[in-house]
Structure 1
Amino acid sequence: MGAQRMQIGEVADRTGLSLRTIRHYEEVGLAPPSARSQGGFRLYTDDDVNRLLVIKRMKPLGFTLEEMRDLLTVLDDLQSGPAEGAGRAELLKRLALYRALVEERCDKMRTRLADAEQFSAELATELRQHGRS
């Protein structure tokens, strides 16, 4: 049974990414569609959608296109690459590095969010003190 193929509009709906963003990720080589229709329309699979979701999650964490490309390569190689040995160990080491970077960046975002929430609470207090809610 063949994989279901979707056009770019459905992929945009499923990922929350704009058509322009999806096309950009194709242009820079991060997420090319798996196929094209006879009419030239981009056709995507669930694996393509998952790849775009990885990119979408990396973007707000400040990863560069090169880092995105590297992590996607690691994930691709783990899916289809060496099942054991030094090659697999190196891939797992790189994956663990990205996991640590994600955690570090999430911690920074949590701190910034807590600061923003505190600031919002302070402004709400100011409003209450001056007669507005």
Structure 2
Amino acid sequence: MTDRLEGSAVRHMQIGEVAERTELSIKTIRHYDEVGLVRPSERSAGGFRLYTETDVQRLLVIRRMKPLGFTLDEMRQLLDSLDILDSSRSGEDREEAQAFVTDCHARAEESCRKLRRQVAYAEELTALLADHATTD
């Protein structure tokens, strides 16, 4: 998750654009900054938060984890683990990061199975009720 492209400048976005791109509220993005999950890469001369594409991608990881019941600490650990795996680091840190990502992957898959089952039940109920619903 790196923004550095050889020979090109990193584009910075203000929080409103980031909120639009991530479908998170400005308040939520500020909260994630306050708890240290995703800090803006820079601040403008006026003190406004400025975010990079990497910051946006980190926020999207969080947005995907939240409805699956991951805690803020687990979100932080996953982001850190992904950073380690994207780096050239090796050894015990890398092994621990890989194990945590593997665990998160398994949990996400299980959550998907449960959600698919819930959607199937909801569709069954919707079909049942459609036969009895009035549409005058």
Same topology, TM > 0.5: yes
Deviation at 1:94, TM superposition (A): 1.4
Q: Which residue of 2 aligns with 1:116?
A: 122
So what's the TM-score if we normalise by structure 1? 0.90
- 2:103 pairs, out of 97, 106, 111, with 97
CA spacing shift, 1:87–1:49, aligned 2, 3 Å: same
1:55-66 paired onto structure 2 within 5 Å: 55-66=62-73
For structure 1, the residue ranges without an aligned partner over 5 or more in a row are none
Q: Which residue of 2 aligns with 1:13?
A: 20
CA contact (8 A) 2:84 2:93 kept: no
Deviant stretches of 4+, over 3 Å: 84-87
Aligned Cα root-mean-square deviation (Å): 1.3
| Letter of the structure 1 residue corresponding to residue 56 of structure 2 | V
Question: Does the alignment pair 1:71 with 2:46?
Answer: no
Deviation at 1:81, TM superposition (A): 4.9
So what's the TM-score if we normalise by structure 2? 0.88
Instruction: State the Cα deviation string for residues 17-54 of structure 1 (Å, max 9, x = none).
Output: 11111111111111110010110000000000000000
Deviation at 1:117, TM superposition (A): 1.0
For structure 2, the residue ranges without an aligned partner over 5 or more in a row are 1-7
